[in-house]
Structure 1
Amino acid sequence: MAAQILPLTLLACLAETLTMMGAFAFPAMLPGFIQQWGLTHSEAGWITGLYFAGYVATVPLLMGFTDRVDARRIWLLGVGLTVVAWMGFALFAEGFWSALCFHVVGGAGLAGTYMPGLKMVLDRIGLSQQGRVVAFYTACFSLGTASSFLVAGWVEALYGWSYVFLIAAGSALLAGALVGVGVKPLKVERERDSKPLRQVLNFALVIQNRNAMGFIFAYGIHAWELFAMRTWLVAFLAFSLASNSVVSGSYLQPTEIATISAMIAMIASIVGQELARVMGAKQMVTVTMLLSTLVASGLGFTASWPYLLVIVLVLLYSIMVQLDSSALTAAVVAAATPKTRGVTLAVHSMVGFVGGIFGPLAMGIVLDLSGDGEHLVSWGLAFASLGVVGLLGPAALHFLVDRRGG
C-alpha cells in the first residue's frame, strides 16, 4: 500500500492541475472582457461568483455519493462536465449571460473533480498518510490556479481568448484519460447499499460535529478572501501598472505576477500544514487569518506605490491567504468519522465555495460603488472589505473548536 501512495498522489495532483486549466481563465483575462463585452465590475463578479455557485449546487450530491460508490466514477463525471463547459465557452460565449451559463457548468465540473479527486486518493491509502496527502493535494489547487493564469495570459496574447478555453477543454480530456488508465476501479461495499438519498446527504451528522463545523466555517471565510483576491488580482495589478509612470515594458505583466503568486501560495499551503502539526490547527489558522486580515486592510491603498513594491506586497498577501488552506481541510478530515468523511467534505466544500460566490461579487460591488475601480480609494476600500470579513474566521474557531479538536 505504501509504495502506491506517491505515484497515486502525484497522478491525482497532475489530474487536478489539468482539470483546473480553465478555472481562472476568465479572471486572468478580466480587463479585456470588461472592455470587450462592456461589463460592469458587479457583472464580472457575478460571472466569477456563479462559477462557484455551480460548484455549491452540485457538490453535496456528488460528494455525498462518494461514501457509497467509488469516487473515481464521480470524478470522471466531473471531467465530462468540465469539457462541456470550456468547449461551450470557447465556441458560444458572447456576453454576460452566455458566459454566466457556461461558468455555472464549469463550477459543477470542479465539484465533480476537486474533492472527489481527494476522496478517490484517500479511499486507496492508509489512515496514517492522509494528513500529508491532503496537504499536497489541496496545495495543488494553487498549482492549477497558477497554470490557469499563466496559460490564459500567454495564449490570449498570441491567439485570442477562445483558444484559452479550447486548451482548457483538451487538458480536462487528457486528465480523464490519465486517471481512467492509471487509477484502478475500487469495489466499495456501500455501493450496494440501498440507503435513501436523505441518508447519503445527512448534513445533520456534520452540523452536530462542532469541531468540524468550526474549521468548515473558517474555510468559508478563507475562500471568500482567496477567491475575491484571485478574481480581482490581475485587474488590481493592471490599475497599479497604469498608475506608475516610471514603469517600463520590461516588468512582469499582471497575469505573470498572478501565476507567481499562486505558485508561492502552493508552497505556503504545504508549509502551513506542517506548522499546524506543530502548533495545532486552531492556533495556527487563527494567527494566519489575523495576519491576512491586517495585510488586506491596507493593500488596496498601495496601488500607486512603486510597482515592484506593490508586487512584493501582493506576494506577501498571497502567502498569508493561502497559509491556512491545507491545514483547514486536514483539520476537517481529522474531525470527521470514517463513515461521514464524504458528506463532511461535501459540507466543507459547499461552505467554502459559498465564500467563493460572494467574495468576488462583494468586492466587485464595492468597486462599482466607490468609483468603478478607477481611483485609489476604490481599490483600497475593496481590499479592506476582505479584511473586515476575514475577522469572522478566527471568531468561528474561538467559539466552536475545543482544545482537543484544534
Structure 2
Amino acid sequence: MVLGSALPAVAETTASDVEPFLVEGRIDDGIAAMKTRLKTAPTDAEAQYALGIFTTLEAVENLSQNLHKYGLRPESPRIPFMRLPVPLNPNPEKLTYAKWRGIMQQFIDDLGVADAELSKVDDPDVKLKLPVGLIRMDLNGDGKSEDEETFWKVFTAVAWRAAKLDEDQQRFEIGFDKADVHWLIGYTHLLRAMGEAYLAYDTEEFFDNTAAIFFSGIDSPLAQLKADQRNAFMDQFADAILAIHMVNFEVAEPQRMEAARQHLLTMISHSRLVWEYCTQETDDDREWIPNAKQTSLTPLTVNEARIQGWAMFLDEAEMVLEGEKLLPHWRVPGERGINLKRVFTEPTRFDLVGWAHGVSALPYLEEGSKVSPDTARTLGQTFGGRFTVFAIWFQ
C-alpha cells in the first residue's frame, strides 16, 4: 500500500437501501442502520435524510402507540393529536392527567430529535425517491406492521382526508428533495407549537371530565351517566357542550407560550426555504411540492399566483406573530385590534367563550395596523376558495 493513496470512495445511500425498512415497518432498524452508515460516511446526505425521515416516523409511531396503550376510542372526536387511526385496544392501561402530559411532552421531544437530524441535511442536491403509499408503521405497539398500519392511512386521517390512492397508485412514490427537508422541519415546529401551547395551561379539570370521551382507559364522572343508545347524537351534543364549557384554563407554564410562538416563527422561515429551493428546480421528478412548471402529484394545481399568494400569507403571519400587525375581532370597532404577540408573551387564563364573546381580548387590544379583510378575500380568490387545503399541503 502506498502511503498517501486515496481511500476507496464509499457509495452513497440510495432509495433501495432505505425502502425495505419503510415497507416492512422496521423504523427502529432503519434508524440504527442509518446511524451506522453515517459513522463510516458522515457526508452521506441521503443517509442523513433517511435518518431524519425515520425519526419523524418514529415520533408519530410513539404517539400512536401511547394513544393505543390507553384505549383511544376509534369513534372519538377528531381533534388535534387524537386523529391517528389507532386500532381498538380492548384492555387499555389506566390513563392519568400526569401520564397524558407526559405523552404530549414525549411527542414534542421526539419531534425535536427529528428536527435535529433533518437539519443536518445540507446538500442542496439531496434526493430520495420513496414509496410513501407503502410505508408501514407499528401503530399499536405489538411489534408488527399490518396492512392497515400504513403511513398513508395516518396522513389521510390527520391531514388530507380526500387523498385516497387507487390500486394503480398504491406505491405513490415521491422524490424527496431539499425543499421537502424544510417542509418536514416546518411540520415538526408546527406540531411542537401546538403541543407547547397546550402544555402551557392547567387542563386537569378539563381532562378529568372529558378524557373518557376519547379514552376507554380512564375513570370518569361520565361513567355514572346513562348514555342514550337510541340517540347517540344527543350524547355527542352534550359532550361537546361540556367540552366548550370547560375550556377555561389557568396558565401553568407561561414560558411554553413563547416557545410555541418561536416554533411558529421558525416554521414560517422554513416554509420560505421550501419555496426558495422549489422555485429553483428544473427537473420534474415525482415532486411533493411542485413549482409552477412541475407536475403535481395531487389534484391541486400550483401556479405563480399561488406561490406569490402563499408568500404574502407568510409575511402577514410573521407580522402578526411579531405584533407588527393586529388581528381584528368582530366586536372591536375602529383601529383597535388584538396584539397576538402579547397573547403569547403575556398569557393569562384562556377562556374559549370569553374569546368568542370578546371580553378575553380586551387586555390585548391596541391601536395600529390591522390585518385587512381584503387579504383574506385575495387569498380566497387566489386559491380558488380552498386556502385551508393548500395551507395543509404547503404548511
Q: Relative CO higher for 1 or 2, CA cutoff 8 Å, sep ≥ 6? A: 1
TM value normalised by structure 1: 0.25
Q: Which has the larger radius of gyration?
A: 2
More strand by share: 2
More helix by share: 1
TM value normalised by structure 2: 0.26
